[in-house]
A and B are shown apart, each in its own frame.
Chain A
Amino acid sequence: MCLMLSYLLKRLFHVVTTLLVLSLIIFAVLHLTPGDPARIMLGPEAPEETVEALRVKLGVKDPLPLQYIRWVGNALRGDLGDSYFRNESVASAVGKHLGATIALSVWSQLLAILVAVPAGVYAAKNKGGKVDAAVAAGTLAGISVPSFLFSLILILIFGVWLKWLPASGYKTLSQGIGLHFRYIALPVISLAFMQASLIARITRSTVADVTSAEYIKTALAKGVPGTSIMFKHALRNAFNPILTTIGQTFGLLLSGASVVETVFNIPGLGQLMVSSILKRDYPVIQGLVLITSLVYVAVNLVVDLLYGVVDPRVRVIGENA
């Protein structure tokens, strides 16, 4: 327990430093950007004095370290600044678009894990069989077809030709569960396809690697039953690479969401991001990258903590480091 606690503290310290580096990177990237926000807001026709006044008001003429500290300080209090073009704060714009993205990514991740892990384990157990070949072919397709192309094809098949499901739009859960899933089915499938393929591939290869290890042979020789070997010996040791992949691909899911949301016209964070990038609405971009990254960091913190729970070696290494 003591080991677990020190591992936990160590991970939390890592998260804090990660966030510090992250905020510096986001701040630096957006301040590398050429273009004058005041000029962008007021347009090329505005007189110089008005633009100058706005520059002072926005604080863009202050020294960079001061601007950074002010940005971080405000962000910690939940104030991400105001959008240049939308008549609202970044926080309220994000709030309005958050629900759709959460629904989309949670359903996709769930669908992906539920399909991919059993498929990967089964394929590894029956290496060279028909299911293994099918899983290999399916996952290859999944990582080779870009999500926007897959989305367009799904729209063509199910939206236009078969007319089974709506081709675009979004309904919240509170508007009816059936309606919600009718609208979100195609986006979730196109987002989960690549996700599931990556997870299934890593599951198959790590489980296959682990089952060829010496201690599995030992267990077999001892006469431990097959299912017990799979769950107690093999899966437990294959768990970390699978978890890593799930954590890492979660970021892929978040950026994939921006593409899928654009194709299906879903009012989520991805769509907000794309429209802000096209309009160069920097406070919104900055806020969105920060929030997406925070979610990603949180997911990976959970992954790291699960490592410690599953694999005692990690706790000990954490202690020595």
Chain B
Amino acid sequence: MSEQVLKEARREQRKVMLGAILGQRVALAGFFIMVLIALLAILAPVLAPQGPYDINPLDRLLPPSPKHWFGTDSLGRDLLARTLYGLRISLTVGGETALLSTVIGLALGLLSGYFRAVDNVVMRICEGMMAIPPMLLAIALVAALGSSSENVVLSMCVAYMPMVARVARASTLSVKEQTFIEAIKSSGAGWPRVLFGHIAPNIMSPVIVQATYIFASAIIIEAAMSFLGAGVPPPDPSLGNVLYDAKSVIFKAWWTTVLPGLVMVLTVLGLNILGDGVRDAMDPSGK
């Protein structure tokens, strides 16, 4: 009988271990995808067969070949070059947006979760901003500020920051009621120590998940904005611009959509897998 239970427990343990390793492996895959993507972006000048702006009217809409791995677009520009340089711009725009909006949003969320007076002001403004769908807000801001990649980052930041603030605030609200916070307070800790030393680490898991989500989603939204004509201004090759150029020729040149699209999906996928890995690593109960 006890033999049976022991066997059962061992099998259960093996399952858990297997799950953990498998989870690690998936996260590792995400990490390697991102390293690969980052290398591709950094080494773009070395890897690209020609400049991303070089126009060759004679080579218009060539299918993939050893000379042009990704084929060429309707102006005869090499699509591999445009995709690699596009990767650079999209990663920069997405990364800057994620970093900026997370830092500001986290600080605002912590403060408004902890102090009711701050809460009333900050959350009212955030609620007002969040009532506008992020992409519409970003598009309206870019239309107002003028289109440049800095303004795209700034606009997306404004659009995403309230989301981080809201997540951080909600978690702060629940963490600050817990007994260990009460214990720390009663042992005489001041609010900065309670807030940044004890509450902040305990709400990092949802905030980091949110940050990677923003990184990935900023890449998608930038692409969608460019696709609608309100993103990084052409002829700069952000992934969105490359796909925008592809839209008009999709029925005669599938590679202009599919190949840069694959690179974009791989990038966002890598980020999302990595984010899930980080989440699982930080939150042992999720395993």
**Contact residues of A with B, CB < 8 Å?**
14, 17-22, 24-26, 29-30, 32-34, 127-128, 140-141, 143-149, 152-153, 155-156, 160, 205, 208-209, 212, 248, 251-252, 254-256, 258-259, 262-263, 273-274, 277-278, 280, 285, 289, 292-294, 296-297, 300, 321
Contact call A212/B285, Cβ cutoff below 8 A: yes
In the assembled complex, the Cα of A209 lies from the Cα of B265 at a distance in Å of: 29
Measured between beta carbons, the chain B residues less than 8 angstroms from A153 are 257-258, 261
In the assembled complex, the Cα of A212 lies from the Cα of B16 at a distance in Å of: 14
Measured CB to CB, the nearest residue on chain B to A251 is: B133
7 contacts between A and B (CB under 8 A): A21-B129, A26-B132, A29-B144, A32-B144, A153-B257, A259-B224, A263-B247
Q: Is the interface of B mostly helix, strand, loop or mixed?
A: helix
In the assembled complex, the Cα of A208 lies from the Cα of B220 at a distance in Å of: 28
| Residue B269 is within 8 A (CB to CB) of chain A in the complex | yes
| Residue B211 is within 8 A (CB to CB) of chain A in the complex | no
In the assembled complex, the Cα of A20 lies from the Cα of B125 at a distance in Å of: 10
1/0 contact string of B199-242 vs chain A (CB within 8 Å) = 00000000000000100110010011001111000000000000
Contact among B134, B140, B228 for A285, CB-based, below 8 A: B140
In the assembled complex, the Cα of A128 lies from the Cα of B20 at a distance in Å of: 10
Measured between beta carbons, the chain B residues less than 8 angstroms from A20 are 128
Measured CB to CB, the nearest residue on chain B to A317 is: B173
Measured between beta carbons, the chain A residues less than 8 angstroms from B230 are 277
Measured CB to CB, the nearest residue on chain A to B262 is: A149
Contact among A145, A208, A280, A296 for B143, CB-based, below 8 A: A280
Contact call A24/B128, Cβ cutoff below 8 A: yes
Contact call B131/A277, Cβ cutoff below 8 A: no
Please give the distance in Å from A268's CB to the nearest CB on chain B.
14
Contact call A146/B131, Cβ cutoff below 8 A: no
Contact among B132, B254, B285 for A156, CB-based, below 8 A: B254
Contact among A17, A145, A285 for B265, CB-based, below 8 A: A145
Closest 10 pairs between A and B when the two form their complex, measured CB to CB:
A21-B128, A255-B135, A251-B133, A255-B133, A144-B268, A144-B269, A33-B144, A22-B128, A293-B131, A18-B127
Measured between beta carbons, the chain B residues less than 8 angstroms from A22 are 128-129, 131-132
Measured CB to CB, the nearest residue on chain B to A18 is: B127
Please give the distance in Å from B156's CB to the nearest CB on chain A.
12
Please give the distance in Å from A3's CB to the nearest CB on chain B.
19
| Residue B124 is within 8 A (CB to CB) of chain A in the complex | yes
Contact among A17, A30, A248 for B124, CB-based, below 8 A: A17
Known A140-B272, A277-B143: A152·B247 in contact at CB below 8 Å: yes
Contact call A146/B224, Cβ cutoff below 8 A: yes
6 more contacts with CB within 8 A, not counting A248-B163, A292-B132, are A17-B124, A32-B144, A148-B223, A152-B257, A251-B132, A293-B133
Please give the distance in Å from B26's CB to the nearest CB on chain A.
9
Measured between beta carbons, the chain A residues less than 8 angstroms from B269 are 140-141, 144
B residues 59-85 near A (Cβ < 8 Å) are none
Please give the distance in Å from B254's CB to the nearest CB on chain A.
7
Contact among B125, B131, B140, B272 for A297, CB-based, below 8 A: B131
Contact call A148/B146, Cβ cutoff below 8 A: no
Contact call B143/A33, Cβ cutoff below 8 A: yes
Contact call B247/A143, Cβ cutoff below 8 A: no
Measured between beta carbons, the chain A residues less than 8 angstroms from B132 are 22, 25-26, 251, 289, 292-293, 296
Contact call A289/B264, Cβ cutoff below 8 A: no
In the assembled complex, the Cα of A205 lies from the Cα of B137 at a distance in Å of: 29
Please give the distance in Å from A126's CB to the nearest CB on chain B.
12
Contact among B133, B254, B258, B276 for A296, CB-based, below 8 A: B133
Contact call A160/B127, Cβ cutoff below 8 A: no
| Residue B139 is within 8 A (CB to CB) of chain A in the complex | yes
| Residue B45 is within 8 A (CB to CB) of chain A in the complex | no
Contact among A26, A149, A208 for B261, CB-based, below 8 A: A149
Contact call A32/B133, Cβ cutoff below 8 A: no
Most chain A CB within 10 A, of B124, B128, B135, B285, is at: B128
Contact call B223/A146, Cβ cutoff below 8 A: yes
Known A149-B264, A149-B265: A278·B136 in contact at CB below 8 Å: no
Contact call A259/B228, Cβ cutoff below 8 A: yes
Measured CB to CB, the nearest residue on chain B to A290 is: B132
Known A128-B19, A149-B264, A160-B251: A296·B272 in contact at CB below 8 Å: no
| Residue B93 is within 8 A (CB to CB) of chain A in the complex | no
Measured between beta carbons, the chain B residues less than 8 angstroms from A248 are 130, 163
In the assembled complex, the Cα of A157 lies from the Cα of B143 at a distance in Å of: 35
| Residue B141 is within 8 A (CB to CB) of chain A in the complex | yes
In the assembled complex, the Cα of A156 lies from the Cα of B255 at a distance in Å of: 12
Please give the distance in Å from B68's CB to the nearest CB on chain A.
21
| Residue B190 is within 8 A (CB to CB) of chain A in the complex | no
| Residue B273 is within 8 A (CB to CB) of chain A in the complex | yes
In the assembled complex, the Cα of A90 lies from the Cα of B146 at a distance in Å of: 24
Measured between beta carbons, the chain B residues less than 8 angstroms from A280 are 143
